[in-house]
A and B are shown apart, each in its own frame.
Chain A
Amino acid sequence: MKRLVISLAFVVGVAAAGTPAFAQQSGNVRIEFQGPGGHSSGAYGRVSALHAAARTVILIQKALPARSYQITNLTGGNSVNAIASDGLIEMKLMAANEAAYKALVAAVTKAAAEGAAAENAFRGVKPGDLTAGAPATIRSIVKPS
């Protein structure tokens, strides 16, 4: 029950984040994803930082009010025949006040962690796993930009 209350409060907080018409605080955010990458076929089965980033965008759509954000960039990977080792979402957040803005950042951070976790789960890897000696999972970090 406690978890549900916290979740509802989080949703309400995010929902109250405001619309651009009343935006008093806005900022740009970078969500970075890092993974092992590798050969698209030879290393098939490894997680993709770009796939994780895309999963995160879908989670952001669900978690944030429609007019509280603008995604300006989604990028990652170096080559069509390589699993992407990097992913990046660049976005603008717009809120009515500082508290609401912080709620948006928290929601984005949560979505990034869940997007990475979903990709890791899909490929069956968990923190601490290694692939050819390198960390096997997708890690995410949210930074102001």
Chain B
Amino acid sequence: MKTLHQATALFTAATIVLATIVAGVAQEPGQAPSAGTPATIPPSVVAAADKIANDPQIMGLLKEQSTDAAAKARWNQFLELVRIPSPPRYEHLKAAEIHRRLVNEWGFSPAEVMTRADGIIAGTDTNIVDGLPVYNACVVIKGSYAGRGGAQHYQGQFPKVLVEGHIDVVNPEVLPPASDPFLHMKLQPFAQPVVATPEELAAIPDELSFDAKGRVIENDKYAIASKVFANAKEAETGGGVRIYVPGYLDMMASTSNAFVLAAAMKKHNIRPVYDVWICGTAGEEGKGNLAGVKQLYGFDQKLGTGSNPLNFVANFGLEGGGTVNFVGSYRFEMKFKAPSPRADGPSAPEAMAAAIAKIADVRTPSDLRPDAPRTTYTVGRASCEPPPAPGMSTPSCSLEVDMRSTRKETLNDIRNTIEPMFQAGVSAENARHGRKDGSSEAISLELVWFGLRPAFVAESVDNVAVHAGLQSGIELGVVSSPIVGTGSGSLNDNVPAHTGVPTYQFSLASTAAGAGAHAFWEWGTRGAPAAEVARMHRVLTAALIVAGFHAADGTVVQPAVGPIGKRTREVVR
């Protein structure tokens, strides 16, 4: 049996959450002020933002995206992609459809598709994560830099800017059967209550329909689902519907538009200086363990360092947030093993139940103290092996527990509280049967999987990603000051942050209303298409500030950062 501490520095899967913390209170002693203080945005970045945001090529792209036809195409593409199931580590179906569309419909050559169906990315040193292939889907907008005389590279890799959103979704847990392979998108009027059970959801009669090629059928149901609203109240009074489908909020509405942006950049011949990679990333949710970004950043989970083998100079996530601090987590999968097949001895399900019941009564630091850093936990999943025969015992049961906090100290507090409860459950069950812990007739405990994502607190907000992220917002009037919030996000960005690559987040989605992320009742209602275009404008501006840009007037906006990306470990090929 492995001890828990033998597993070191594993990064775990992540999902979005923004945890607001009180500025100052959560600041670690002696640490330089970071989030919550103004960034010092260089004049060159301010000028670049103004130049790029108003460039005629950019404006042409946005004008086209502002048409009704483009809005409909974006909406249809989202509906057609979100229905493809994509559990963490089983993203190959969605990745394959993105790959297919990149070449057949979105204007890219096969050489511009940087990911393969088998999960391989040429140039990275990390193509297998947790023993499995990684099903990212990435395309490149080629820059001019490699053609420059004296262009610098890192081990053959010229500089790149990454724009990414994840393509995996918490639900369903596994791929549906081949007889019914796609997710059903149920439509429910706002006048009706949110469904209370999966059975209620399945019983909703109205749903979107798709043809044999996976195209949404534009029937009366589609017309209702496609209505645009500003917010939930308008949707409720205006005949809106909840569209139930896992991934609506988290986060295919944004990721799908990343590929719209990629195709538009290609069509409008937007020419960066550095390459811009636009990726749908795998493994952000559940036990995905951040596999997608680990592949991209060459992240070694045992060392906790990234080699950045593809030489990214900045990272832009599309899950929203605009944060520079990242939630840390510990995750455990523990197995409770019965000693024998006899049914009258200590029971694996009851030992696990004892552990879960103890954990269920835990109060976290932030439960107990309003000024404590936000700290959370849950036993997210449990399962048991079936007894091998009637009258025999359940051989083993496993639980998966998630613990998170915005700060290392409170993360360790919650771990120190919960971790002993695994064994306490075992001991309680053994004691009920008069068995001594560790004996051959006792329940035993085994660590199956351990995930560690250290909490990340940025030492400074003055980096190129934050500058570009903020200034693009200031330029377009959606950000009023160069200040990054003090919140923490639980995002893919944890990997680039711990690799040393600066990162910032946006969203490309427009949703009037929605709820139920990570639950069976996840739903959304379509928001204003104009908001999507405005967000594309900002992301495009930010990415090109960093990457550099060949403007319509023939001038070149130089990249805002040098050509060698940061890393916390060197590549060893």
Residues of chain B contacted by A79 (CB below 8 angstroms): 88, 170-171, 173, 285-287, 380-381, 400, 518
Contact A75 B378 (CB under 8 A): no
Q: In the bound complex, do residue A55 and residue B517 qualify as a contact, i.e. CB atoms below 8 Å apart?
A: no
Query: Of B193, B285, B374, which is within 8 A of A81 by CB?
Result: B285
Where chain A touches its partner, the secondary structure class is mixed
**B330-364 vs A, Cβ < 8 Å mask (1 yes, 0 no):** 01010000000001100101101111110111000
Binary CB contact string for chain A from 35 to 58 against chain B (1 if under 8 A, 0 otherwise): 011111111100010110111011
> Are the C-beta atoms of A75 and B382 separated by less than 8 Å?
yes
A83, CB-defined interface residue at 8 Å: yes
On whether the beta carbons of A51 and B360 are closer than 8 Å, the reply is: yes
- Contact in complex: B394, A71 (CB < 8 Å): yes
**Could you say which of B13, B16, B197, B333 has the most chain A C-beta atoms within 10 Å of its C-beta?**
B197
Which of the residues A42, A75, A130 comes within 8 Å of B384, measured between beta carbons? A75
Residues of B within 8 A of A86 (CB): 198, 520
Closest B residue to A91 by beta carbon equals B349
Complex Cα spacing A54 to B353, Å: 4
Residue-by-residue, is A63-85 near B (CB-CB < 8 Å gives 1, otherwise 0)? 00011001111111111111111
Task: Name the A residues within 8 Å of B520 (CB-CB).
Answer: 37, 85-86
Interface flag for B265 (CB, 8 Å):
no
Q: Which residues 398-423 of B sit at the A interface, judged by CB distance below 8 A?
A: 400-402, 404
Q: Which residues of A contact B356 (CB under 8 A)?
A: 50-51, 53-54
Indicate if the CB atoms of A122 and B518 lie closer than 8 Å: no
- Known A78-B170, A82-B519; contact A119-B360, beta-carbon cutoff 8 A: yes
B127 part of interface (Cβ distance < 8 Å): no
Check A73 against B490 for contact (C-beta < 8 Å).
no
CA distance A43 to B517 in the complex (A): 9
Q: In the complex, what's the smallest C-beta–C-beta distance from A70 to chain B, in angstroms?
A: 5
Q: How far is the CA of A145 from the CA of B161 in the complex (A)?
A: 56
Residues of B within 8 A of A34 (CB): 196-197
Residues of B contacting A75 with CB < 8 Å? Answer: 382-384
**Given contacts A80-B13, A80-B331, A134-B515, is CB(A41)–CB(B19) below 8 Å?**
yes
Residues of B within 8 A of A89 (CB): 349
**For residue A50, which residues in chain B have a CB less than 8 angstroms away from its CB?**
356, 379-382
A79, A80, A135: most-surrounded residue (chain B CB, <10 A): A80
Question: What are the residues of chain A within 8 A of B310 when measuring CB–CB?
Answer: none
Cα distance A19–B285 when bound, in Å?
46
Does residue B386 face the partner (Cβ distance < 8 Å to A)?
A: yes
Min CB–CB distance B523 → chain A (angstroms): 9
Give CA–CA (A135, B88) in the complex, Å.
27
Chain A interface size band reads 35 or more
Q: Write out the residue numbers on chain B whose beta carbons fall within 8 Å of the beta carbon of A84.
A: 378-382
Given the interface contacts A80-B380, A85-B520, does A73 sit within 8 Å of B14 by beta carbon? no
Distance (Å) between the CB of B545 and the closest chain A CB? 30
A7, CB-defined interface residue at 8 Å: no
Task: Establish whether residues B378 and A73, one from each chain, have CB atoms under 8 Å apart when the complex forms.
Answer: no
CA distance A38 to B250 in the complex (A): 12
| CB–CB B432/A74 < 8 A | no
Name the residue on B nearest A74 (C-beta): B349
Cβ of B214 under 8 Å from chain A: no
Bitwise, B146-184 to A at CB < 8 A (1) or not (0) is: 000000000000000000000000111100000000000
A72 to B392, CA, bound (A): 9
Q: Which residues of B contact A5 (CB under 8 A)?
A: none
Judging by beta carbons under 8 Å apart, are A73 and B400 in contact?
no
Q: Which residues of B sit under 8 angstroms from A39, Cβ to Cβ?
A: 15-17, 250, 517-518
Does B521 reach chain A (CB closer than 8 Å)? Answer: yes
A132 to B242 CA separation, bound complex (whole angstroms)? 13
B93 at the interface (CB under 8 A from A): no
Counting CB contacts under 8 A, is B262 at the interface? no
In the complex, what residues of A have CB within 8 A of residue B13's CB?
80-81
CB of A57 within 8 A of CB of B357, answer yes
Q: Is the CB of A40 within 8 A of B378?
A: yes
A contact residues around B402 at 8 Å (CB): 40-41, 80-81
In the bound complex, do residue A51 and residue B16 qualify as a contact, i.e. CB atoms below 8 Å apart? no
- Is A61 engaged at the interface, CB distance under 8 Å to the other chain? yes
Roughly how many angstroms separate A28 CA and B491 CA in the complex, as a whole number?
43
A38, B518: Cβ atoms closer than 8 Å: yes
Contact A80 B349 (CB under 8 A): no
A71 touches B286 (CB 8 A): no
- Mask of B178-204 contacts with A, CB within 8 angstroms, 1/0: 000000000000000111111000000
- Partner pick for A134 among B196, B352, B393, CB 8 A cutoff: B196
Contacts of B343 in A (CB 8 A): 70
- CB-contact partner of B353 in A38, A53, A77, A139, under 8 A: A53
Beta-carbon contact of B357 and A55 below 8 Å: yes
- In angstroms, Cα B166 to Cα A6, docked, is 57
Interface of chain A residues 65 through 124 with chain B (CB within 8 A): 66-67, 70-86, 89, 119, 122
Whether B387 is near chain A, meaning CB under 8 Å from some CB there, is yes
Q: Which residues of chain B come closer than 8 Å to A70, judged between CB atoms?
A: 343, 347, 393
Q: Mark B361-396, 1 if CB is under 8 A from A, else 0.
A: 100000000000010111111111011000001100
Contact of B194 among A51, A78, A80, A134 (CB under 8 A): A134
Are A51 and B379 neighbours in the complex by a CB distance under 8 Å? yes
Interface assignment of B253: CB less than 8 Å from any CB of chain A: no
Tell me the smallest distance from the CB of A58 to a CB of chain B, in Å.
5
Contact indicator B360/A55 (Cβ below 8 Å): yes
B400 touches A122 (CB 8 A): no
Q: Knowing A40-B376, A51-B356, A51-B360, say if A78 contacts B384 (CB, 8 Å).
A: no
Which B residues are CB-close (under 8 A) to A40? 15, 376-378, 380, 402, 404, 518
CB of A32 to closest CB in B, whole Å = 9
B20-46 toward A: CB 8 Å interface, digit per residue (1/0)?
000000000000000000000000000
List 13 additional contacts besides A41-B490, A82-B518; criterion CB under 8 Å. A39-B518, A40-B378, A40-B402, A41-B15, A48-B360, A57-B353, A77-B381, A78-B171, A78-B172, A79-B171, A80-B401, A81-B285, A133-B515
Residues of A within 8 A of B (CB): 34, 36-44, 48, 50-51, 53-55, 57-58, 61, 66-67, 70-86, 89, 119, 122, 130, 132-135, 139
8 residue pairs of the A-B complex, CB under 8 angstroms, read A36-B521, A37-B516, A40-B404, A54-B356, A70-B343, A79-B285, A83-B518, A134-B521
| Chain B residues proximal to chain A, CB less than 8 Å | 12-19, 88, 170-173, 193-198, 250, 285-287, 327, 331, 333, 343-344, 347, 349-350, 352-357, 359-361, 374, 376-384, 386-387, 393-394, 397, 400-402, 404, 432, 451, 490, 515-521
